[in-house]
Amino acid sequence: MSTLPHDRHAAAHPTLIARAAELGRQFAAGAAEHDRSGAPPAAQFDALQAAGLLRLNIAADRGGYNAGLSVARAVVGAIAYGDPSVALILSMHYCQHAAIAKSERTDAGDWPAHLIARLTRESVEGLALINAAQVEPALGSPSYGGLPDTIARRSGDQWRLSGRKIYVTGVPLLSWINVLARTDEDEPRLGHFLVPREAPGVRIVETWDPVGMRATASHDVLLVDAAIPAADVVALKPASLGVQRDPYSTAWYFSLVSAVYDGVARAARDWLVEFLNQRRPSALGGDSLASLPTVQDAVGRIEVLLATNDWLLRSHAQALDAGTAPDSLAATVKHVVIDNAVAAVELAIELAGNHGIARRNPLERHHRDVLCGRIHAPSNSLLRGNAGRAALRSV
C-alpha cells in the first residue's frame, strides 16, 4: 500500500521538477561566487519559496504539494546540479517535513499537533526553513552512540537549553532549529527541542570554513539558557533508549544527501563532455579529445557510475513512496551513490588534466564539493559494519 495519498496535487509535480531544473541552471551562475565568499544563499531561497518548492512535501490539506521522496529527490538533484550548497540546505528542510508529514498521517506520530500546524503554516506562508542540530564537539555524530551534552532544564512552563552544536547546515537562513538534547532530570530523557533561531540565548558562531560546500554556512550554534515552551518538544523518551532513528526519516536523509552529490557529479560530467568535444590538440590533426578510444572508455565508466546512481535513487524512492522499500536499502543507496559520484568526478579530473584543477573551470569546484559527500554520518565503515552484522546474524 502506498504511504502517500493520491490527490490532484500530484498533477503539479512534473511542473515543480521543471521549475527546479530551471532554478538549478540559474543558481549555477552564482555558485562560484558563493564558493568564494561562503555567504549563505539567501536570494536562492527566496526564489525557491516563490516557486513553491519549500512546501513541496507538506501535506496538501495544509497548503503543500504532498510530494513523496521520488519528487523531492528529483528536485534536490536538479538544484544540486546548479549549486549543491543550496540543495543540501533544501534537502535538510525536506527531511524535517517528511518526518512531520509521516507523524501526522500515522497513529504513532511523535510531533505535537500545534508544532505541525505552526511549522507547516510558516513554510507555506513565508520563508521558514528548518533543520536539525545534533552533532557536538565532544559527542561527534549521535550515529556512533552516546548522549548529547546539550541540556534541557525544566523551568515552570518552559524548557531552558544550554549547549553547543556544530555543523548546523544553513543555520543563518533557518527559522527553526530542531535541537537534540537531554534533560537534567534524575532519570534523563532525550528529545528534539524546537528552538526559534532568533530566540534569546541562541547565537551563531561562524566556524564553517571547509574545502567544499562552502555556502551551506554550516556554522556552530551556541545555546545559553535559551527558553522555549514546555510543549515544543518532539519524541521525549528515556535517554537509556538512546537516539531513536525512524527508518522512514533515515531513508529520506540518505536518499536526499546522496542526490546532492549525484547532482554534483552530473554537472562535472556535462562540463567534461563539452571540454572533450571542444579540445582539439594539434597532435590529433583537428580531431577532438572525444575521438580517442581511451577517452571514450573513461567517459563510459562515468556513464556506468551515474546510470547506477540513477537506478538506485529512482527505484529506492519509488519503493519508499509505495511502502515496499526494505529498511536496509537506504544505507546501500548512500554508500554506493556517494562513492560513485566521487569516482565519477575523479575520473573527470584525470581526463581533464591541468584544466580540471584550474580555478577558472568549475570542475575544480565540483571536485571539492563532491569530496564532502563522504563526511555525512554515518560513515561507510559503520554502514558496512551494520550490514555485516545483520548478515552474520541471519546465518
Other C-beta atoms closer than 10 Å to the C-beta of 339 total 17
**So what's the pLDDT on residue 110?**
86
Closest by CA to 340, choosing from 332, 350, 351, 330, is 332
Q: Does the pLDDT value for residue 4 go beyond 80?
A: no
Residue range(s) occupied by CATH 2.40.110.10 in the chain: 142-241
**So what's the pLDDT on residue 285?**
84
Q: Give the least confident one: 23-27, 47-51, 125-129, 331-335.
A: 125-129
Q: Which CATH architecture has domain 8-127?
A: Orthogonal Bundle (1.10)
Residue range(s) occupied by CATH 1.10.540.10 in the chain: 8-127
Determine the average pLDDT of the residues in 67-78.
98
Strand, coil or helix: 190: strand
The answer to whether 76 and 67 have CB atoms below 8 angstroms apart is: no
The answer to whether 317 and 69 have CB atoms below 8 angstroms apart is: yes
Task: Indicate the Cα dihedral angle 54, 55, 58, 61, nearest 10°.
Answer: 170
Cell numbers 565508466 correspond to: 301
Determine the average pLDDT of the residues in 127-143.
87
pLDDT (tens digit per residue) in 320-353: 999 999 999 999 999 999 999 999 999 999 999 9
Q: Does the pLDDT value for residue 140 go beyond 70?
A: no
Residue range(s) occupied by CATH 1.20.140.10 in the chain: 247-393
Residue 378 falls in which region: left (phi positive, over 0), alpha (psi -120 to 50) or beta: beta
Strand, coil or helix: 229: strand
For residue 322 the three cell numbers come to 509505495
Determine the average pLDDT of the residues in 295-319.
97
CATH tag for 142-241 (out of 2.40.110.10, 3.30.70.3000, 3.40.640.10, 3.40.50.2300):
2.40.110.10
Other C-beta atoms closer than 10 Å to the C-beta of 95 total 25
Distance in angstroms (rounded) separating the CA atoms of residues 320 and 329: 10
Give the fold, CATH level 3, of 247-393. Answer: Butyryl-CoA Dehydrogenase, subunit A; domain 3 (1.20.140)
Determine the average pLDDT of the residues in 253-268.
98
Strand, coil or helix: 149: coil
Q: Which pTM does this prediction carry?
A: 0.95
The answer to whether 262 and 341 have CB atoms below 8 angstroms apart is: yes
Other C-beta atoms closer than 10 Å to the C-beta of 89 total 31
pLDDT (tens digit per residue) in 88-123: 999 999 999 999 999 988 866 689 999 999 999 999
Burial pattern 268-287, b for ≥16 Cβ within 10 A else e, equals bbebbeebbeeeeeeeeeee
Of all residues in the chain, the percent with pLDDT exceeding 90 is 85
Distance in angstroms (rounded) separating the CA atoms of residues 57 and 102: 10
Residue 140 falls in which region: left (phi positive, over 0), alpha (psi -120 to 50) or beta: left
Distance in angstroms (rounded) separating the CA atoms of residues 295 and 79: 29
Closest by CA to 349, choosing from 330, 362, 335, is 362
Q: Give the least confident one: 1-15, 127-141, 325-339.
A: 1-15
Distance in angstroms (rounded) separating the CA atoms of residues 370 and 268: 10
Q: Does the pLDDT value for residue 263 go beyond 50?
A: yes
